[in-house]
Structure 1
Amino acid sequence: MINAAAEATFKIIQTEFIKKRHFIRLEELLRKLYDYVNWFNYIRIHGTLEYLSPIEYKLKLLKNLC
């Protein structure tokens, strides 16, 4: 199960972030990857997470546990 989640995440990164991009310097890649991961976790909504971002969904689950 963990492997499937990791593979799905890498597939999304490949199709949404890497595809058709060329990075001249490692620093550029790292900065843009950092921005992408933050966008993915805090802004991008996911249909499988009740159309919430991963962080919003996690906070909702934690709130329901208390």
Structure 2
Amino acid sequence: MVPHDHGIEFKNKIIDELLLTFEIGRSLSKKACPYDNAVAEATYKVLKTEFVNQMDFHSLRHLEIELYDYVNWFNKHRIHGTLGYLTPVQYRQEALKKLSDLLLTIHSSP
């Protein structure tokens, strides 16, 4: 039997009810296929090691402020190997530019 993680650490009644309320489905790997969600799993690992395990939160508000700052840094300043060593914001901007250029090429060709 191949061990697998189906998001058990996020499985709880409150989350299940919220997902149901907003009609959101869970994105889980298939059994014996741990790679289809590798980027998300790596992101959770980084979040835990760079943020959660380095902080002591004194209140929910403190957590909210620190998490906001961390996500801002993660998206705008931290480079990611899976994104060609760009930040997520840079990667998105480049992807949108490529798409825009492609659409202009398609629309301007006879």
TM norm structure 1: 0.84
Instruction: Give the 4+ runs in structure 1 shifted more than 6 A.
Output: none
Name the structure, 1 or 2, with higher relative contact order (CA <8 Å, separation 6+).
Answer: 1
How many aligned positions are there?
Answer: 65
TM norm structure 2: 0.54
Pick the structure with more helix per residue. 1
Give 2:70's match in structure 1, choosing from 32, 36, 45: 36
Backbone CA RMSD of aligned residues? 1.3
Gaps of 5+ in 1: none
Aligned partner of residue 51 in structure 2, secondary structure: helix
Matches of residues 1-66 of structure 1 in structure 2 within 5 Å?
Answer: 1=36, 3-66=37-100
Gaps of 5+ in 2: 1-35, 101-110
The structure whose Rg is larger is 2
Among all aligned residue pairs of Structure 1 and Structure 2, give the percentage whose two residues are the same amino acid: 54
